[in-house]
Amino acid sequence: QDVVILQSLSDPVDSNIMELSLLADAAERAGARSITAVIPWMGYSLQDKVFRSGEPIAARVIANMVSASGVKRVILMDLHNNSVAGFYSVPTTVLSSLDIFVADIQAHCDLTHAVVISPDFGGLKRAAVLAERLGVELANIDKMRDLVTGKVTARFAGGNITGKTCIVTDDCINTGSTIVEVARVLKKQGASKVIFYATHALLAGKASELLQKSEVDEVVVADTVAIPPAKQFKKLRVISVVPAFAQALKSMI
């Protein structure tokens, strides 16, 4: 049979990685014709290079583990860096949440006075595509993160957002510090509303509490990571990206 293993490598990350690897090995030993690993969130993928001397490239290590487990194909979604897909030694497909986010924004936001914001220069391409699809202007935040303390500082890079709804887009939410700082800067610049769209909601530590108290008006995330009740908060809204994975699987199997 063609076997599909669905496993998001979120908390508990290490257990889920081992479980995926062992399931793939068991399926291969049981005679599966093909094994496809659907990994909505790839744990350790943010460590895609050596940021400071002595660090590992954790994303490569995980990709090697999955590739060696018997998996014949991998399906991922919205990597922080698409080059991570090249770490796998089996065919890999990277899906996007863009279509689903565009439909949600069009259904819930008044685009007459809206602008798309990239929270940093690294996400400018993603934000530019979203702005083009929505037919609105694009602006940018200049964000810096201290690699030792993790502290985020941001400044508005230019443009007029007074009285506008700012739609900020990013690939994931980790500690929430980026959203908190970006929302503060945008509201200071005169934004009437700040809505943050992100694919993966990791919500590490006290992220949920910080986001609820921040100046962001709404946080919209995909269901690539299961969010326990203790980490859910009033400003959070979860939408499903299941159709994107279903469509991809139908075309492959």
Sheet-wide strand order for 165-173: 152-156, 137-145, 114-118, 165-173, 193-201, 218-222, 236-239
User: Which residue bears the tokens 């964000």?
Assistant: 143
To the query of whether residue 151 is one of the catalytic residues in this protein, the response is: no
- Residue 56: asked if its preceding bond is cis (omega within 30°), the reply is no
Residues 237, 235: Cα–Cα separation, whole Å: 7
Contact 186, 161 (CB under 8 A): yes
Pseudo-torsion of CA 96, 99, 105, 108, nearest 10°? -120
> Quick one: which of 205, 148, 146 has its CA closest to 181?
146
Contacts 24+ apart (CB under 8 A), 125-133: 126/98, 126/169, 126/170, 126/171, 127/169, 129/98, 130/98, 130/101, 130/102, 130/167, 130/169, 133/98, 133/102
CA distances from 191 to 127, 180, 216 (A): 17, 14, 11
What's the rounded Cα separation, in Å, for the pair 34 and 70? 9
From the candidates 72, 125, 143, 206, which is the catalytic residue? 143
Residue type, 129: V
Q: Which residues are catalytic?
A: 143
